[in-house]
Amino acid sequence: MLDELQIVVRDVRSPVVTNRSDSDEAVVFVHGNPGASNDWAPLLTKVADFARVIAPDMPGFGDAEQRADQDYTVPSQAAHLGGIIDQLGVERAHLVLHDFGGPWGLTWAINHPEQVASITLIDTGINRESHWHGLARLWRTAIAGELVQLMLRPRINRSIIRRKNPALPDQWLEQIVGHMAPSGTKRAVLQMYRSLDLAALERALTGPLRDLTTPALVVWGEDDPFVPSDLARQQLQSFPGARVEIVPGTGHWPWLDEPEKVNEIVLPFLRAQLGSSLSDAAGDSCQDMPSTASGH
């Protein structure tokens, strides 16, 4: 059964969806923009059948706090994520990241390498082409960004998302359009995009991520209109051993467009990583046990 907790990190509150607390190992889902924890439902509920799951609404999004005085930079969001992980007693985190959740989660990962058990990137990662999609370029521009946010009413957002992601089911289209509406989220988005230097992020993350040697999976919607699927294989520069899967007929939210296809990719990977950690623990326990052999 899934529960919702209210976690406060440095005076900022986030609701967190989780299922149990009897394990120090968890699959941690981190949404992006626009997004919230409930977007993960088609994948998260399947993972919850065999693992502890954690999915926060990140500051500025969903039902998390959206105050004007908050910091929405990548380091701040990464620290907030880390605070949630620590408060929930997670010692081994299997990160599942999407969109801006990539920079947030990967920044946390390089600062806590001993806690990273595996990484699944879904239409996110290191943008080696320093590519900003059209809306992002507008959001990064002073005055123009504010004007665009004022103009982006639900009807216009619905038209943009539908045109760019034609496979997205109506239910999820409406939910994502709803995520874009709050004025606090619009304010957070402007700060996020204006504070992020893609080239600097690449320089900061690439080497430390390669040194992690963490099991990794890269999943990408073939028709992603915001983050081109050409970037999927480029993630191998940071995760040389990663498996890369391009999902045909899907856009920026492939697990919402084709949940069965994405589940067939992600669930076995996570099961294998969780199983591996259990086997390692069992092996360590056996090595620590005193020998019971007797001589005759």
pLDDT at res. 277: 58
Residue 15 sits at φ, ψ, to 5 deg, of: -75, 140
pLDDT at res. 294: 30
Residue 110 domain-assigned (yes or no):
yes
Supply the pTM of this predicted model: 0.92
pLDDT at res. 131: 82
Residue 169 domain-assigned (yes or no):
no
Q: Which domain holds residue 78?
A: 3-131+198-286
CATH of the domain at 35: 3.40.50.1820
Residue 187 domain-assigned (yes or no):
no
Residue 189 domain-assigned (yes or no):
no
In the chain, which stretches have pLDDT less than 50? 278-296
Residue 166 domain-assigned (yes or no):
no
d(CA 180, CA 173): 11
DSSP summary character for residue 1? -
pLDDT at res. 21: 77
pLDDT at res. 230: 94
Residue 121 domain-assigned (yes or no):
yes
pLDDT at res. 2: 94
DSSP summary character for residue 48? T
Mean pLDDT across the chain: 92
List CB contacts of 150: < 8 A, sequence separation 6 or more.
none
Residue 180 domain-assigned (yes or no):
no
pLDDT at res. 204: 95
Query: Which tokens belong to 181?
Result: 């509406």
pLDDT at res. 78: 98
Give the total number of structural domains in the chain.
1
DSSP summary character for residue 222? T
Residue 242 domain-assigned (yes or no):
yes
